[in-house]
Amino acid sequence: MEAQTTVPSVPDAHPVQFHGSASQYFGIWIVNILLSIVTLGIYSAWAKVRRQRYFYGNTSVMGHAFEYHADPIAILKGRLIVVAALIAYYAAQLLFPLGSLVLLLLFVPLYPVVFMLSWRFNARVTSWRNVHFFFDYKPKRDYLTAFGVLVLLQVAAAMTAYLLIPLAAQRKWKLVLKRLSYGRQRFHEAIPAGPIFRGYFLSLLVGLPAWIALVGGFVLLAWMDATSEVPDDETAVEGISAIATPVMMGLVFAVAIISVMLAYAIYTARLRNTVFNNSEIEDVGHATSRLRPVKLWWIMVTNTIAVLCSLGLATPWAAVRMWRYQVETLAFTPAGDLDAVVDRETAAGTAVGAEWTDFEGIDLGF
Amino acid sequence: MASEAQSGPTGNQADNQTGGQFAGHVDGTWHPPGSARAHRARFARTPDGRLALTDLDADAPIEIEDGISISDRIAGAPRRVTFADRSVFVTRDDDALEALFGEKLRSSFFSRIARLERPSTRLFIFGGIMILAIVAAIRFGLPAAARAAAALTPVGINEQIGNGTLASLDRLMLDESTLDAARCKVFSDKLTRMAASIGLERNVKLACRKGTRVGANAFALPGGRIVVTDELITTAGNDNDVVAVLAHELAHAWNRHAEQKLWRAIGVGVALTVLFGDAGTLVEEMASAGTLILETSYTREHEREADLEAIDLLRSIGTDPGHLVTALEKLHKSCGDACAESGWLSSHPGGNERRAYLCAAIGSSEVADTICSQND
């Protein structure tokens, strides 16, 4: 009897593509800034929408692009609320310095709310193939969990010398993905903590020496600045000045910052890869992420140098370059009938309801 | 944000079978409401001017309703036409779509913006000019705006800020003065007399404190409150030297330097968020580092201004301005560990530089003649 060799079929992984170019975005970026200045910041809401639509719209999977549907007015309202809150806080700080500490404490229980509402907003205004994402946040049901993960766990992490950061990150992504869905299709996740911890410790290994050097350097600079006024202690100052010339200090700082960037890249890449590679959308498919830490770090470093040397003009080029790499290291493997996917709200029939009006557009970059 | 285009008349599908001549068309994808199902479709205007949508795969017409909204044009991103039943037609061909709807769509605000955003050398030059303009605005406009804001802030608010600051300083860094109350009053009176020469006698008040953690120090808070520490009085030794320091601080108060500093900080914070908030944290951080460097140069300007104005303030009460230089020397010499970063000297221009411009500005006076001719 002939043994039948079955060749395992390679699933169809469709790479995510980005069609945009730096020159296209340059124009959008310049006009955004110019009009934002001229309108004293009011246009910034429209600028944000145009920027997002550019990046989302030029990103496509299997021939279909993403879309960003946020209403600029909603974003403007959100921004005005944030500005008002900031002004209130600064005014309180100036007029009642110790009372303002109380205000700061108020922000702590508010943070989980802002975080969850922000995810809800961003999910709702993002769509692919005409189906919107959905984030299921019900305050009564979810607030305590969110508070525990986003506040208590972070505090615990800080108190254990930041060793629990990977755990906090894992729980945060679990918190989010449990509530996220693409249309009616829910996300499922099985994110392990192990790889995140390993990535974190590797990044500490790389970054900690550099971080200590950076902090030590700042302290040294401050001490030198203080003692330079005193001519009495000249011998000590002379000794230090011989070693720590401005050029040398500059070099040390540059090397330290570049090393810290590498540490950041290692952790970020590991975290993103772990999250994407261990989650899926029910009956729709799953994504694979192949972000390489060194390549990510290289892009970060060269972007920074380019932006610095060009007095900021290279910012759009850097933004496009980073987005392209982040996006093109993703691939999507369909697993189901995409045609059957429908929006979560079609059942309701009507478009957005009144519940969306609160804190719409407050996007703190989560 | 969607702009309202003219509502197309409902295509009477029965009349527009495929195969007819269309006046203009654009190809794309059609999705039923809230569904990911995708149909290749053609959106066209029939010879009699009606809009019609055809499913290219099924080769059959798609019924569309009145009430069309079209998303704004943005380079490279697909254009979305949303029908009244919430089905959408998506296409990447902006020009063909705009041709279909005529001049009204092409001349809409964001279509114009999109044309402005097209890459060109003119745009690049624009960008360069913009950077220069921003730098100029921050370098010159910001301080000017801060000055105006400081001048316009009601005195009551400034006083409230000053009192609040002093309260926290008392809690954190200062203690009750161990000096004789009469001694403090002597200085307070001299300060009031100097303030009277510029009309500020009602606003300026002296506070004597023990500067445990700040050492020999003196500073002007918003609202006209001036604080001086016992340590500075002891170190200076000579009463006139203390008065010289108070004159310098009075000049700060007169120019509302502390208030300006606050407003600059607020202005920078807001400006950075507005301008660079969307450009990413890196750019924002670079910009704030740049403004930090600028801020130290503003501080040095303020200090120089205060030094020079103190000369006239001292002369107004008959005190020799040369005491400014002697005070400087004494504080410089005795500055040890207690001086560190928060000492009176650390945020000021370098000792020799100060002495030089002070001596030059004073010209000739009994004290100045002696001290300025000394070579350190």
Taking only the tens place, the pLDDT of each residue in B11-20 is: 333 333 334 4
Say if residue A347's pLDDT is above 50.
Answer: no
Report the residue of B90, B132, B274 to disrupt the A interface, i.e. the one with the largest count of A CBs within 10 Å. B274
Calculate how close chain B gets to A68, using CA atoms only, in Å: 10
Structure-token pair, residue B56: 């290219």
Task: Report residue A226's pLDDT band, with 50, 70 and 90 as the boundaries.
Answer: low
Angle, alpha carbons B142-B146-B148 (nearest 5°):
120
Q: Out of A257-266, A306-315, B263-272, pick the least confident.
A: B263-272
A31 touches chain B (CB under 8 A): yes
Calculate how close chain A gets to B48, using CA atoms only, in Å: 31
Say if residue B342's pLDDT is above 60.
Answer: no
pLDDT at B280: 57
Task: Report residue B187's pLDDT band, with 50, 70 and 90 as the boundaries.
Answer: very high
* First-to-final CA distance of chain B: 71
Of A19, A308, A339, the CB nearest to B286: A308
Q: CA–CA separation, B274 vs A37, rounded Å?
A: 8
Q: What are the b/e assignments for B6-23, b being 16+ CB within 10 Å? A: eebeebebeebeeeeebe
Decide which of A300 and B285 is more confident: A300
A319 with B279: Cβ contact below 8 A: yes
Say if residue A302's pLDDT is above 60.
Answer: yes
Calculate how close chain B gets to A234, using CA atoms only, in Å: 12
Decide which of A268 and B333 is more confident: A268
Q: Which residue(s) pair with B71 in the sheet?
A: B2
Within the 252-281 window of chain A, which residues sit less than 8 Å (CB to CB) from chain B?
none
Of A19, A24, A313, the CB nearest to B131: A313
Task: Report residue A236's pLDDT band, with 50, 70 and 90 as the boundaries.
Answer: low
Q: Using CA atoms in the order B274, B276, B278, B282, what is the torsion angle rounded to 10 degrees?
A: -150
Contact A165, A131 (CB under 8 A): no
Say if residue A3's pLDDT is above 80.
Answer: no
Compute the average pLDDT of residues A63-92.
Answer: 84
Q: What are the b/e assignments for A133-161, b being 16+ CB within 10 Å? A: bbbebeeeebeeebbebbeebbeebeeee
Instruction: Determine phi and psi for B200, rounding to 5 degrees.
Output: -110, 15
A27 touches chain B (CB under 8 A): yes
Of B1, B157, B335, the CB nearest to A229: B335
Report the residue of B113, B165, B214 to disrupt the A interface, i.e. the one with the largest count of A CBs within 10 Å. B113
Say if residue A350's pLDDT is above 60.
Answer: no
pLDDT at B284: 66
Q: Which residue(s) pair with B115 in the sheet?
A: none
A183 touches chain B (CB under 8 A): yes
In single-letter form, the type of residue at position A239 comes to G
In single-letter form, the type of residue at position A346 comes to T
Residue in chain A closest to B38 (alpha carbons) equals A339
Helix ranges (DSSP H) in chain A: 22-38, 44-57, 72-95, 99-124, 139-147, 153-159, 165-177, 194-227, 234-243, 246-277, 293-309, 315-328
Task: Report residue A240's pLDDT band, with 50, 70 and 90 as the boundaries.
Answer: low
Decide which of A242 and A17 is more confident: A17
Compute the average pLDDT of residues B293-312.
Answer: 85
- Closest alpha carbon to A253 in A219, A225, A226: A219
Which chain B residues touch A27 with a CB distance below 8 Å?
Answer: 75, 116-120, 123
A19 with B76: Cβ contact below 8 A: yes
Compute the average pLDDT of residues B168-178.
Answer: 86
Taking only the tens place, the pLDDT of each residue in B269-278 is: 777 766 665 5
pLDDT at B367: 84
A230 with B346: Cβ contact below 8 A: no
**Parallel/antiparallel/unpaired status of strands B225-229 and B205-210:** parallel
If one counts every other C-beta atom within 10 angstroms of the C-beta of residue B348, the result is 21
Contact A60, B29 (CB under 8 A): no
Q: Out of A95-104, A176-185, B47-56, B284-293, pick the least confident.
A: B284-293
pLDDT at A157: 92
Q: Which of B128-142, B265-279, B358-372 has the highest mean pLDDT?
A: B358-372
A50 with B75: Cβ contact below 8 A: no
Share of chain B above pLDDT 90, in %: 23
Structure-token pair, residue A116: 């969850």
If one counts every other C-beta atom within 10 angstroms of the C-beta of residue A347, the result is 9
pLDDT at A111: 87
A98 touches chain B (CB under 8 A): yes
Which chain A residues touch B331 with a CB distance below 8 Å?
Answer: none
**Conformation bin of residue B210: beta by default, left when phi > 0, alpha when psi is -120 to 50:** beta
Say if residue B364's pLDDT is above 70.
Answer: yes
Taking all residues of chain A, what is their mean pLDDT, rounded to a whole number?
83
If one counts every other C-beta atom within 10 angstroms of the C-beta of residue B324, the result is 31
Q: Which of A151-165, A333-347, B59-73, B149-163 has the highest mean pLDDT?
A: A151-165
B346 with A41: Cβ contact below 8 A: no
Report the residue of B1, B89, B163, B166 to disrupt the A interface, i.e. the one with the largest count of A CBs within 10 Å. B1
Q: CA–CA separation, B151 vs B259, rounded Å?
A: 9
A40 touches chain B (CB under 8 A): yes
Residues in chain B: 376
Contact B328, B302 (CB under 8 A): no
Taking only the tens place, the pLDDT of each residue in B208-247 is: 999 887 778 898 998 899 999 998 898 888 899 999 999 9
A206 Cβ neighbours under 8 A, 6+ residues apart: A259, A262, A263, A266
A54 with B77: Cβ contact below 8 A: yes
Q: Which residue(s) pair with B226 in the sheet?
A: B206, B220
Task: Report residue B262's pLDDT band, with 50, 70 and 90 as the boundaries.
Answer: confident
Say if residue A187's pLDDT is above 90.
Answer: yes
pLDDT at B7: 36
Report the residue of A77, A79, A94, A337 to disrupt the B interface, i.e. the one with the largest count of B CBs within 10 Å. A94
Decide which of A55 and A230 is more confident: A55
Report the residue of A82, A130, A185 to disrupt the B interface, i.e. the one with the largest count of B CBs within 10 Å. A130
Calculate how close chain A gets to B156, using CA atoms only, in Å: 11
Decide which of B78 and A93 is more confident: B78
Q: CA–CA separation, B189 vs B201, rounded Å?
A: 10
Within the 127-146 window of chain A, which residues sit less than 8 Å (CB to CB) from chain B?
128-132
Contact B234, B338 (CB under 8 A): no
Residue in chain A closest to B167 (alpha carbons) equals A97
A23 with B119: Cβ contact below 8 A: yes
- Closest alpha carbon to B73 in B18, B112, B128, B19: B112
Say if residue A353's pLDDT is above 60.
Answer: no
pLDDT at B329: 81
A314 Cα distance to chain centroid: 21
In single-letter form, the type of residue at position B52 comes to A
Q: CA–CA separation, A42 vs B313, rounded Å?
A: 46
The three-state secondary structure class of A279 is strand
A18 Cβ neighbours under 8 A, 6+ residues apart: A58, A59, A323, A324, A327, A328
Say if residue A89's pLDDT is above 90.
Answer: no
The pTM of the whole model exceeds 0.90: no
Q: CA–CA separation, B36 vs B88, rounded Å?
A: 11
- Closest alpha carbon to A27 in A56, A42, A47: A47
pLDDT at B16: 34
Task: Report residue B9's pLDDT band, with 50, 70 and 90 as the boundaries.
Answer: very low
Of B33, B71, B72, the CB nearest to A346: B33
Residue in chain A closest to B222 (alpha carbons) equals A94
Which chain B residues touch A308 with a CB distance below 8 Å?
Answer: 286
Task: Report residue A104's pLDDT band, with 50, 70 and 90 as the boundaries.
Answer: confident
Decide which of A1 and A245 is more confident: A245
Taking only the tens place, the pLDDT of each residue in B98-108 is: 888 877 787 88
Say if residue B285's pLDDT is above 80.
Answer: no
Say if residue B160's pLDDT is above 90.
Answer: no
Q: Which of A88-92, A119-123, B296-300 has the highest mean pLDDT?
A: A119-123
Residue in chain B closest to A23 (alpha carbons) equals B119
Say if residue A365's pLDDT is above 80.
Answer: no
